[in-house]
Amino acid sequence: MQSSDPLDLVPVTEEDGSPLELTEMEAIELKNLLDANGIDAVISGVEMMPNLPYRLMVAAGKAAEAARVIAEARAAGPAGAEEAEREGEASGGGTSA
């Protein structure tokens, strides 16, 4: 989906251009990943229909970067996630309430 305004929300897509279809937990995890990389994301889905997929929506101007961040995280796997978490903790990263 193309948008003329870089702030319009568009779904994050797979490499083939189809929208990511996620479970609720996957959507939450990937939203947190994008947030940690400075990309605001919104989860789109129907809570009352958990059999339907959730999607991540980002600003059109950040869609390619969001897809890249997710692809890199998937390629790195769980070990990469743990390493990134350790690096974030070591650098004082993270959020505080």
Cα dihedral sign, 63-56-93-96: positive
Report yes or no on 3 lying in a domain: no
Contacts of 48 by beta carbon, 8 Å cutoff, 6+ apart: none
User: What's 3's DSSP letter?
Assistant: -
Tell me: the pLDDT tens digits for 70-82?
999 889 888 876 7
User: What's 96's DSSP letter?
Assistant: -
Band (pLDDT 50/70/90 cuts) for residue 87 is confident
CA distances from 24 to 8, 30, 67, 86, 87 (A): 23, 10, 18, 25, 27
Query: Amino acid identity, residue 6?
Result: P
Tell whether the model's pLDDT for residue 37 goes beyond 60.
yes
Report yes or no on 22 lying in a domain: yes
Query: What pLDDT sits at residue 2?
Result: 56
Report yes or no on 55 lying in a domain: yes
Q: What is the CATH number of the domain that holds 19?
A: 3.30.70.1530
Tell whether the model's pLDDT for residue 97 goes beyond 70.
no
Mean pLDDT (whole number) for 47-63:
89
Band (pLDDT 50/70/90 cuts) for residue 57 is very high
Query: What pLDDT sits at residue 23?
Result: 92
